[in-house]
Structure formats: C-alpha cells, structure tokens
Amino acid sequence: MLDIFNFKEHIIPMEKWVAGAVDWLVGNYRPQFQAVKWPVEQTLNGINWVLQIVPPIIFLIILFAIAWRLSSWKVGIFGVITFLLAGYLGMWEETMTTLAMVISAVVFCVIVGIPMGIIAARSDRFVAFIRPILDAMQTTPAFVYLVPVVMLFSIGTVAGVIATIIFAMPPIIRLTNLGIRQVQSDVVEAAKSFGATPNQILWKVQFPLALPTIMAGLNQTIMMSLSMVVIAALIGAGGLGVPVFEGLNSLRVGLAFIGGLSIVLLAMVLDRITQSLGESKRIQQRDES
Amino acid sequence: MADKVVVKNLFKIFGPGPSRAFDLMDQGMGKEEIFEKTGLTVGVREADFTVKSGEIFVVMGLSGSGKSTLVRMLNRLIEPSRGEVWVNDENVTKMNAKELNEMRRHTMSMVFQSFALMPHMTVLDNACFGLDVAGMSKPQRHERAMSALEQVGLKTYAESYPQELSGGMQQRVGLARALAQDPDILLMDEAFSALDPLIRSEMQDELINLQEESDRTVIFISHDLHEAMRIGDRIAMMEGGRIVQIGTPDEILKNPADKYVQSFFRGVDPTTVFAAKDVARKSQLTLRWHKGEGYPVAALEQMRQEDRSWAYVLDRHQKFMGVVSEASLEQASERGDQNLSQALLPDVNPVPFDTPLQEILTIVRKYDFPVPVVDENNVYLGVVSKNRFLRTLEHGIDKPQTEATA
C-alpha cells in the first residue's frame, strides 16, 4: 500500500511530455516562430547598427539633448559622464549592444503591452484571463525562461531579446490598465454626457490622463529588460552580460566588476531619464487640490 | 407651453435580477424592506412628470433620495430599468448608441457637482469638448466656445488650466462647456452645491439671467430648499426614490405633502423664504365696520366675552380699516362716540402681504399688538404676532388646522 510513496518507482514523465511538446512545436510551427523572430531581429540589428556606427561624440550630444528635454540638464550631464566612464572602462561597444537590446525589447513591449493594457482596462474578463499569465511571467525566475526560448528560438542575441520582451512586458500592461481605470469617473461621465463615443473617451480623456501612470510602467519595463538582457548572456546574447560571465567563469574578478559597474551606470541613466516622464506637473496639481 | 421632457413610470433598480424587486414593489414594500430581502437597491421608483419648455424644474431631496439617478436616466448615463423618457417627442429609452450620442451632443448637456473638467485641457478646450466630439472644425468650435466663455465672464482665462481657477470659476467653465452646445435642455446636477454661499447665490442669479435671455429648459438638482425656492419654477420633492410632491415653490411651502417635505423647512432661514402672507393667521377678533349707533359699546362687550385686548376692524369687503384696543373703546364709549372710527388706534399701518419676514421684524417690535397683514387690495389676511414670528424662526411654518381656521 505504501508503495505509492515510492518516488523512485512512480515518476510523472513530465520531462518526456515537455520535450515532446517542444519538439512538436518546433517541428510543426517553426515558420511561425521564425516569423516572430524576424521583426525583433530586424529592429535589433537596425538599432545596434546605428548605435555602433555613430561616433561617441554625436551619441553623447544626442543623449544630453534627450535627457535635457525629458528631464533636466543635470540628468543630461550625469548621462554624458556615465557613458564616458563606460567608454574609458573599455565597455563602449558592449554598452551600445546592451542599449540596443534594451531599446528593441522596450519597443516591442510598448507595441504589444499598451494595447493589451487598454483592452484590460475595458474588460474585466480579459483581466481575469491575463492576470495569472502576467503573474507567471513576472515570478518565473529569469533562468527558467531561457529554456523554452532556446528551444523555440535557438540561441543568440535575438533569442535573448525575445526572452527579455516576455520578462519585461507585465509592468506596462498592468500600469496601462491601472492608469486608465484610475481616471476619475466623473470626468469620464462628463465626457459621456457630452456624447463622446468610447473611442473618443479613450483617446481624448482616459489615455492622456493615464499617461503618467503608463510612463511609470514604461520605466519599470525598461529596468526589468535591462536586468534580463544581462542574464541573456547565458544563451549567447552579446552586450554587457558577456564580460560578467566571462569574468565569473575564468575568475577574472576585475573584468566581472567592470561589466557589472557599466550595467549599474546604464541602469541609473535610463532610470533618471524615464522617471521624469511619469511626473506630469499638471496632473499632479489636480491630485493635490 | 409645450412639453419638453416627459417621464413615464420610470424605475431604476440597482443590482442583478431587478425583476424580484418589481414583484416586491407590487406588494407595496419600501426601499429598506426590498434591500433587506433581495440586496437590490431601489434608485428611482415610479417617476412620472412633465417638464415644460422654458421651465426651471428643480428636483429636490436628501442625498440617497434618487435625484441624481433620476436626472442621469434622462440622458441615460444610467439605464432605466423600466419606463420611458421622452425628449422633444422622441423616445430616449429606445434610442441606439448613435442617436443617443446625437441627443447628448445637441439637445441635452449637463453640469456636474464636481465640475468634472478635463485637467489636461485648457479652459477653452474644455469649453469646446462637446463640440469637438461632435466633429466641429477647430475655428468654428473655438468661436462658439469663446462666446460661451464670454457669457460666463471667463473669456480672458481661455488659455488657463482649470486647476488654476477658483471653484466658482471652474463651475463657470462647466457651465460654459454646457452652454457652448447650445442645448435645449440643461441638466444641472447639484451644480452649485460645492461652491461657497456667496458664489452660489451669484451663480444662481447668473443662471436666472441666462434663462431670461433664452428659453432653455433647465432641470436642476438640489438638496437646498433655499436654492430651489430661489430659482425653481416648479419643484419635485423626492424621498426614497419616489417623487412625493410636485408643485410651485409656493404650493409646496404652504401645503407640504408629508412630514418629510415639511422637514426640509427646518434649517432654512425662514426670514428669507417666507413673506408676511405665509405667516399671517386669522387668529384675532375682527369687528365689522358699521355706521350704526352704540357700536363701541357692543364691540367692547364682544371683546370682553372673547377675552381679547385688541380687535381688527374690517369693512364689509373685508378691507382693513384699523385696530382698536380695549382702552381706546372704553374712552370712546365714555366720550359717547357713536361709531368705531374715533376709537381706532393712531398710526397703524398694515403690512403688505409680500413683505419678507426680515423686514417685518422691526414692525412687529414696534407695536404691542399683532401686526395686521393685507393684500394688494387692502383686504385683511390675518396678523403676525411676536409669538408667531418667533415660532416661525424656530420651526419654520407648521400649520395646525385649528389656528389656521380660527
């Protein structure tokens, strides 16, 4: 009777099932997975090519201008100094590759995530459906992602970006949903009473008022994609993850440290620049009053 | 006047499966009982009324009485559970989404208690909002919105943002936004309740002024009797989702349908709401003006029998002639006067019927006896005594039948 607790004898053949399922997916749906991979690859290569070819001086000027416009001149100077430091540490190329990976991952997160968030804001059923998926996406340890991604998309930088997209998508979906749902109901009611259609309400009222929250989601998505992009070095993605893993593997602590430091610096710059996006002065005023 | 809005047998039940509530209502159960039994909330129950073109129709009641629900069913921000709403002879309850939006864009606009302005838009864009969603071109809608802002005196603030303005100014923007649509019907949901009293009465005056320039129909929600009296042509009193009384302010004031309606008068400053005619009571002895002999003596006898110190002299058309006192009659009879005219107290001026209570105060204080009140033809309506005046201040008007007919 106690035989059923013999874990050596009775084993659920999960491994076989999963392997079989993945084999079947790869065997039958390879074109589909390649089709998913293609736009990511094009975007990544395009951005990477530009970033690698642009002379550092031009890149720094543009960086300063963006940081200054979106935030302040202080953040601009901070960004320039940070990138210069990464350059002098010998990490310019890796930093550019990582930046390209982050940007392409975030582009896809936005393209897919914001519409999903909008649908979620309009449908409780859709929220009930995607919430467990989002939870799973966020709580699954980063390493575990890499397995199916490698099976379906093989290894390399593009596969790394795809893993990053999946990992970093939840915040922007959640916060788009939240931002739209948080818009004061009286304002939405007023819009309705003046004969606005649901689409007009969305684009003229809800979306602009939700924008600060959506931007906070974008900030989180960028931060999460940066952390994943580094781990993606495990499956052969390039960028700043490479020196870290090389350093760890060959016990070159200095190299790993430099790679790690560059990641932290890049994270700080991206965070400072995008944080300010969420702080629209006008809407804050209304909250205070 | 033509009927602008006709509401027929309108119900709103909040909660799933409203038919259960209808069954219980047919059995005559009230809002509380139905909620206990089914968990359903009766928002509005059996509303039936007509608003005429050009009228200011006030819906009054405490919070939770269903007045906001009622007005939101007129433009279907809240879907009625049963019944019909007709606007300009069109059945609103049968409209599809497109027709409904057309009606909201052109026929009916709304002003909200919380202002509900768009914080991300300038005052001008806010005023344009309805015209924008209706697809009007930018120069055209700016022109219309500017003239609406001019009407409410905010033209110079067109480029400001709502949160830079005071509450009163924000609600003017709300009003301009509604006026820019040039609607037949203006729905105002406690539009002035969030404003401080001074600004509130200023806005009320402004609404009345606007109303004089156009013959818009206004449906105004309020929990403030004072406001309702001031601006309303007719008032509907709501309680527990039901309309308990509809009438002109005067009718409701004088004949409150029940205790609930009456209770509204508490807490209202009666001296601003009531006029002399509302508090005057025929509680005093009246004497017929007569040219016959020996009258002072007969009058004196009558007064002693009734234990009165004063009597009010009327002619045969009930017109007020003067007041006599016990003392003045005694003097007249000692002198041997043959009629009452010599016994009338000097310098007694009756109060016109429409004098506000505020102004009566000084007059009531001046005389020892209750002050007589007359209508425009000098016909005696009754008296206001000190006692009665003070009681009105304390309780508002109550109408014990005995006193009214004495």
* Rounded CA separation A102/A224 (Å): 9
Question: Taking CB atoms and an 8 Å limit, are B118 and A205 in contact across chains?
Answer: yes
| Residue B233 host element (H or E) | none
ipTM reported for the complex surpasses 0.95: no
Is B110 within 8 Å of chain A by CB?
yes
* Residue A206 DSSP symbol: I
**pLDDT by residue (tens digit) across A230-252?**
888 888 888 888 998 889 889 89
Residue B220: the pLDDT is: 93
pLDDT bin (cut points 50, 70, 90) of residue B290 is: low
Q: Are the beta carbons of A187 and B130 separated by less than 8 Å?
A: no
Instruction: Give the contacts of A231 (CB within 8 A, at least 6 positions apart).
Output: A142, A143, A146, A241
The residue that leads in pLDDT, A19 or B59, is B59
B-proximal residues of A, 167-226, CB under 8 Å: 184, 186-187, 189-197, 200, 204-205, 208-209
Give the pLDDT confidence of A115-158 residue by residue, as tens digits.
999 999 999 999 999 999 998 887 888 788 788 888 888 888 88
Residue B84 to residues A272, B11, B186, B191, Cα–Cα distance (Å): 57, 9, 19, 25
* pTM: predicted TM-score of the whole model, two decimal places: 0.72
Cβ distance B110 to A193 less than 8 Å, yes or no, reads yes
Interface test with A, best of B118, B121, B170 (most A CBs within 10 A): B118
**Do residue B120 and residue A282 have CB atoms under 8 angstroms apart?**
yes
By CA distance, what is B117's nearest residue in A? A187
The Cβ of residue B16 has, within 10 Å, a number of other Cβ atoms equal to: 9
Is residue B309 scored above 90 in pLDDT? no
Residue with tokens 């959506």: A214
Q: Band the pLDDT of B71: cuts 50, 70, 90.
A: very high
Q: How many Cβ atoms from other residues are within 10 Å of residue B178's Cβ?
A: 28
- Among B129, B171, B221, which would you mutate to test the A interface (most chain A Cβ atoms within 10 Å of its Cβ)? B129
Question: With 90 as the cut, is the pLDDT of residue A104 above it?
Answer: yes
Contact yes or no for B119 and A190 at CB 8 A: no
CA quadruple B110, B111, B114, B119: dihedral sign: positive
Residue among A189, A195, A209 minimizing CB distance to B120: A209
CA angle (A195, A198, A202) in 5-degree steps:
110
Using a CB–CB cutoff of 8 Å, tell me whether B11 touches chain A.
no
Q: Does A248 touch chain B (CB under 8 A)?
A: no
Map residue A243 onto helix, strand or coil: helix
* Closest CB to A189 among B116, B119, B130: B116
- CATH number, span A30-288: 1.10.3720.10
pLDDT > 90: what percent of chain A? 46
Residue A288's pLDDT band, with cuts at 50, 70 and 90, is: very low
